[in-house]
Amino acid sequence: MATFLYRLGRLAFRRRHFVALIWVALLTLAGVGAASAPPAGNASFSIPGTEAQRAFDLLEQRFPGASADGATARVVFKAPDGGKMTDAGNKATVKKTVKELSGGSEVAAVTDPYTTGAVSRDGAIAYASVNYKVPGMELEDSSRTALQAAAQHARDAGLTVEVGGDALHAAPQTGAAEVIGIGIAAVVLVITLGSLLAAGLPLLTALIGVGIGVSTITALAVTLDLGSTTSILASMIGLAVGIDYALFIVSRYRGELAEGRAHEEAAGRAVGTAGSAVVFAGLTVVIALVGLSVVNIPMLTKMGIAAAGTVAVAVLIALTMIPALLGYAGRKIRPAGEKSGLLGRGRDTEKQDRPNMGARWASFVVRRPVAVLLLGVIGLGAAAVPAASLELGLPDDGSQPVSTTQRRAYDLLSEGFGPGFNGPLMVVVDAKGSDDAQASFTKVTDEIKGLKGVVTVTPAQPNKAGDTAIVTVVPRSKPSSAATEDLVHAIRGAGADIEARTDAKVLVTGSTAVNIDVSQKLNDALLPYLALVVGLAFLLLIVVFRSVLVPLKAALGFLLSVLAALGAVVAVFQWGWLSGLMGVEQTGPVMSMMPIFMVGVVFGLAMDYEVFLVTRMREAYVHGEKPSQAVVTGFRHGARVVTAAAVIMIAVFSGFIGSSESMVKMIGFGLAVAVLFDAFIVRMAIVPAVLALLGRRAWWLPKWLDRVLPNVDVEGEGLRTEQRPEHADRELVRA
């Protein structure tokens, strides 16, 4: 592979006009497609295989036009101090608001609190329910705007009005966070590469790759039913790996120049060596993202595949466009250790001969591997302890900041009707196979009333055919509590007994039940997903490193860093440690998607650092250095670049901690901490310590396996015998 990529790099360097034209054409084509594509709404949402989804599907058949899985909103009214919602003026305002809410094209029904009894016992609080024809993730912005406008008109009339429900849930905006991340990345790149021009290349190519990926997603959004969150994930991951991959190759190019190679030869060797690491690092990220399909949530599958496509584009751009741009830059890109005129041109030869910080650190670890290994493992183990108390759930309005209308509506409903009123359960009774449907409905209602934790059970509401009914159950506890989850399981358990006696099926759904089922589905998929991703990457790394122990060490180190990061997430978002510093206003269960999302994203990024750092060690070892010296050599050439890449990733992810959306804040914090642990403790401390202890055994591979595995030559051994033009090594780099 190194030889093929070497030739590709030299070809791109020579044919730079053609290569640049191709990528500009692709960017233009994708941009035109995105501009001409119809505006995309939010993606449809389904959770195949869950009871909640089966109930929605049944309601779609038996209650046509009812939009059982449609978005809901609760407009909560509170009378001024001393007044009641039954006062004539307040009543008139509410009825006017209900009429205004009924005019939306996506509105299925609006309830009047005075006809449905939705007024609190003390008369201070009332609410109107708004049901929409489409799920919350498919709701148009115009419907959300109309909902907020109606609430504001009621406020202008003197009432306190807040709006809750999933109708107001929109995709978080992350533009500011991306700008902050790019700004920090630019600073780190300038410091690392010592040149504004060299620093600009990774940024430019990363932005082009993200532009192509996101524009393509936008162009195909309607056709493939992709939501706006898909492009957010693709841009975040694409930007991260795009900068990393380009940085690796540009850094290696400058190192080749420092050894006196010609520019074209240096570009070829950079792509042949660092480019090989980029290819396999990119494959691990693609495996991790495509592997999200094992969860069997279509929206998550599409997000993973779209992000994987953006990563693939980033790899191709790094392998072709970077050497082409290096050709345009010519002698303006200085050799490693030599800065541009703007930053202080010149090289201190004496300083260049001294070990850099990475080499000094590696030498320290090689001398004291046991102490460093124990310290790193114990430290990460201590950070992982809170993960034993991990509680998973999906966020509801109760986890929103108190500054949001959703949270204030949640608190008003809890005040007026009890905390469980924010998450009613919808029980669907399918009595089509029962001899007496009405008796089955009554039996279900009576059974649920006798369960612990139930406040209210409404009478069964049958459909026109009389074979299916809906029963609404209000729990005593809040939606995200363990008590509510226990109640859902208790109703389903009672339903199984009822079915055995009456042949009537009982299904529990509603937003609370959906959250519980999604959480369970994600929990069940975590271990298979982890086994798939780590297993495939383990096999891939065996091919790359031609070793069994090095890939095993890489996988175990990753698991340790992820557990430590989950422990930090639990400590902050569940226990409340440093919650004020992080802006966490409400503690609660950790988002169910967090572990599987963290495994996928962090595994890909962690393997980037592993592949780039350890391939330099493998390269030095193959070229004749002793194992301990190879570790030092790998750090001398790779530690600075890996450190810069990790700092960039931490900066990008940390930008999301400032979001007002608790889910986005949690993802940003979790990924930033995971990269911090993995890059600086696992890859920079535990990895060299383990390799120093293993010595030559680290590169052991059974002979039979060595014969079977393909030789991908990531370390570039084949480049030593590759024929080059006679003048290739004669053209020395001149200052």
Q: What is the pLDDT of residues 104-132, one digit of tens each?
A: 778 888 888 888 778 888 888 998 888 88
pLDDT at residue 518 is higher than 50: yes
Q: What is the dihedral of CA 235, 239, 241, 246, to 10 degrees?
A: 140
CA distances (Å), 75 to each of 158, 163, 165, 412, 501, in order? 15, 5, 9, 10, 41
Yes or no: say if 397 and 410 are a contact pair by the CB < 8 Å rule: yes
Give burial (CB, 10 Å; 0-12/13-18/19+) of 323: buried
The pLDDT, as a whole number, for residue 342 is 47
Query: For 355-369, what is the mean pLDDT?
Result: 87
Q: What is the pLDDT of residues 471-515, one digit of tens each?
A: 888 888 888 778 888 899 898 888 888 888 878 888 888 878 888
The pLDDT, as a whole number, for residue 296 is 80
Q: Which of 376-385, 639-648, 680-689, 710-719 shows the lowest mean pLDDT across its residues?
A: 710-719
- Which contiguous run of DSSP H or E holds residue 469? strand 468-475
Residue whose entry in the numeric block shows the structure tokens 């209650």: 63
The pLDDT, as a whole number, for residue 21 is 94
Q: Distance between CA 58 and CA 61 in Å, rounded?
A: 5
Q: How confident is the model at residue 377 (pLDDT cuts 50, 70, 90)?
A: very high
Query: For 307-324, what is the mean pLDDT?
Result: 91
Plot region of 165 (φ>0 → left; ψ -120 to 50 → alpha; else → beta): left
Yes or no: say if 528 and 293 are a contact pair by the CB < 8 Å rule: no
Residue whose entry in the numeric block shows the structure tokens 């006196």: 260
Q: How confident is the model at residue 727 (pLDDT cuts 50, 70, 90)?
A: very low
Q: Which of 115-119, 203-207, 324-328, 565-569 shows the lowest mean pLDDT across its residues?
A: 115-119
The pLDDT, as a whole number, for residue 178 is 57
Query: For 602-611, what is the mean pLDDT?
Result: 77
Yes or no: say if 608 and 244 are a contact pair by the CB < 8 Å rule: yes
Q: What is the pLDDT of residues 11-63, one digit of tens each?
A: 998 999 999 999 999 999 988 888 887 655 555 566 777 888 888 888 888 87
Q: What is the dihedral of CA 339, 345, 350, 355, to 10 degrees?
A: -10
The pLDDT, as a whole number, for residue 567 is 93
Q: How many CB atoms lie within 10 A of CB 546?
A: 22
The pLDDT, as a whole number, for residue 732 is 38
Q: How confident is the model at residue 720 (pLDDT cuts 50, 70, 90)?
A: low
CA 660, 664, 669, 670 torsion-angle sign? positive
Q: What is the mean pLDDT of the chain?
A: 81
Share of the chain above pLDDT 70, in %: 87
The pLDDT, as a whole number, for residue 45 is 60
E strands along 476-573, which residues? 505-509
Where b means 16+ CB within 10 Å and e means fewer, 699-729 reads: bebeeeeeeeeeebbbbbeebeeeeeeeebe
Measure the CA angle with vertex 189, ends 14 and 630; round to 5°.
Answer: 80
The pLDDT, as a whole number, for residue 735 is 34
Q: Which residues contact 717 (CB under 8 A, 6 or more apart)?
A: 2, 622, 623
**Which among 213, 188, 189 has a CA at the least distance from the CA of 200?**
189
The pLDDT, as a whole number, for residue 734 is 36
The pLDDT, as a whole number, for residue 354 is 67
Quick one: DSSP state of residue 682? I
Q: Which of 187-196, 332-341, 492-501, 630-639 shows the lowest mean pLDDT across its residues?
A: 332-341
